[in-house]
Amino acid sequence: FLGFEFMPKGDMPMMLMNAKMPVGTSLEETDRVIKVIEDSFMNIPEKKFILASIGPSEMGGGMGASQGLGATDVNEAMVIARLVDKEDRKKSSTVIMDEIRMQIPKLNNATFEFMDLSGMMTGGMGSGGAPVAIKLFGKDLDTMKAFAKEISERIKDVDGLRDINISMKEGKPELHVLVDRKKAAQLGLAVGQIANTVRVATLGTVATRYRKAGEETDVRVRFQETDRNTIENIKNITIASPLKTQVLLNQVADITYEEGPIQIARENRMRKITITANTTGKAIDKIVNDIK
């Protein structure tokens, strides 16, 4: 029995890698990690040029971002490499991708995947161009997410699979302030007053506008970053009470970081999570049988 592929991979002169850090990672930290990945690309003699982009950009925006191409926030980045033409190199693009994977050092909390551009050129855009796609359908997102993680763990050692990715994005960490109305009332504070104080301290308020050469610029007043960049700083925001006392925010509210909303995909009105993977060095029908 001979293994087969429904559509053999073409040798593409362009390579595209998506890299992800945990949600909430700063632009500076993502930039540091991407420089390490760029160094691995630079070591490939078959390269012609390399481009890198962190966060949303023209390079990865629009329809591309919705298909898994390009970054959607500052914790994500995209690296594009143009290889010399096929006739000017001895290695295929697939072999070069494997060499780059081997060169990238283990990076804490960072994941990366090459996009299968040949699959996209042959109509594979529905799953971001990946030749292997496992779809999960259900109602409870937490259960689906747990199953998706379990499946990705089970198939990560399948021979011939690379760049395993789960479509569901992590929610961004958000600061939640839950006011104890009874305690607030005892100290003469209304919920609206507390909310406004927190908003001004963290987001700021436009105090005035600066006008120059016909253009206006908002002058925003808020706490300096060192006074609002940790949850402890937020807890210590002071609120002026009508009882002529200064009340700390944590005296009248519980302050926590929680996961914010996530993007939910649907197919035929059913919630969906897709696990995708690239293939290398093995016929896809054999890989699918191993997954099963």
Q: For position 109, which CATH number holds?
A: 3.30.70.1430
pLDDT-based confidence at 57, cuts 50/70/90? low
Instruction: Tell me the mean pLDDT in the region 110-117.
Output: 80
**170 vs 285, residue with greater confidence:** 285
Amino acid at 111: T
In this prediction, residue 69 has a pLDDT band, given cuts at 50, 70 and 90, of low
> pLDDT digits over 96-113, tens only?
988 998 888 888 778 888
Residue of 171, 157, 16, 150 whose CA lies nearest to 78: 16
72 falls in which pLDDT band (50, 70, 90)?
low
- CA dist., res. 249 & res. 234, Å (int): 7
Q: Do 15 and 124 share a structural domain?
A: yes
Residue 74 lies in a domain: yes
More confident call, 228 vs 253 = 253
- Determine the Cα–Cα distance for residues 143 and 9; give it in Å rounded to an integer: 34
Q: Name the one residue in this structure whose structure tokens are 């700390």.
A: 248
Tokens of 49: 């040029």
pLDDT at position 4 is 45
The answer on 273 and 251 residing in a single domain is no
Domain-embedded: residue 1:
no
Dihedrals phi, psi of 82, to nearest 5 degrees: -105, 120
- Band the pLDDT of 262: cuts 50, 70, 90: low
Per-residue confidence band for 10, with pLDDT thresholds at 50, 70 and 90? low
Task: Assess whether 202 and 226 both reside in one domain.
Answer: yes
Question: pLDDT tier at 64 (50, 70, 90 boundaries)?
Answer: very low
Whether the CB-CB separation of 54 and 27 falls below 8 Å is answered with yes
The verdict on 117 and 14 lying in the same domain is yes
Cα 69 to Cα 134: distance, rounded to the nearest angstrom: 18
pLDDT at residue 142 in the model: 84
Rounded to whole angstroms, the Cα distance separating 36 from 110 reads 11
| Cβ-contact 135, 149 below 8 angstroms | no
Determine the Cα–Cα distance for residues 12 and 92; give it in Å rounded to an integer.
8
- Is 161 within a domain? yes
pTM higher than 0.95? no
Q: How many domains does the chain have?
A: 3
On whether the CB atoms of residues 149 and 141 are closer than 8 A, the answer is no
CA 41, CA 63: separation in Å to the nearest integer?
Answer: 26
Going by pLDDT thresholds of 50, 70 and 90, the confidence category of residue 261 is low
Are the C-beta atoms of residues 97 and 15 closer than 8 Å to each other?
Answer: yes
**Do residue 26 and residue 110 come from a single domain?**
yes
pLDDT (0 to 100) of residue 75: 86
What value does the mean pLDDT take over residues 206-212? 86
Same domain assignment for residues 41 and 164: no
The CATH number assigned to the domain holding 143 equals: 3.30.70
CATH number, residue 241? 3.30.2090.10
Q: Are residues 149 and 192 in the same domain?
A: no
Residue ranges with strand state E in 84-204: 111-114, 132-138, 161-166, 173-179
In a domain, 105, yes or no: yes
Q: What is the pLDDT of residues 156-206, one digit of tens each?
A: 888 888 888 888 777 777 888 999 999 999 999 999 999 999 999 988 888
Q: Are residues 46 and 101 in the same domain?
A: yes
Write the CB contacts of 15 (distance below 8 Å, at least 6 apart in sequence).
80, 81, 83, 93, 96, 97, 100, 114, 117
> Whole-number mean pLDDT of the chain?
81
Residues 122 and 138 occupy one common structural domain: no
Decide if 278 is inside a domain. Answer: yes
For 20, the domain range is 6-129
Same-domain status, 35 and 106: yes
Query: Is 170 within 8 Å of 149 (Cβ atoms)?
Result: no
Instruction: Read off the tokens for 283.
Output: 């016929």
30 and 65 in a single domain? The answer is yes
Same domain, 29 and 105: yes
Do 10 and 121 touch, CB atoms closer than 8 A? yes
Mean pLDDT lowest among 23-32, 122-131, 192-201: 122-131
Lowest mean pLDDT among 48-57, 92-101, 153-162, 243-252: 48-57
Q: What percent of the chain has pLDDT over 70?
A: 84
Is residue 5 over pLDDT 50? no
The confidence score (pLDDT) of residue 239 equals 95
Task: State how far Cα 106 lies from the chain centre.
Answer: 18
In a domain, 141, yes or no: yes
How many angstroms from the chain centroid is the CA of residue 148?
17
Whether 50 and 41 have beta carbons less than 8 Å apart is answered as yes
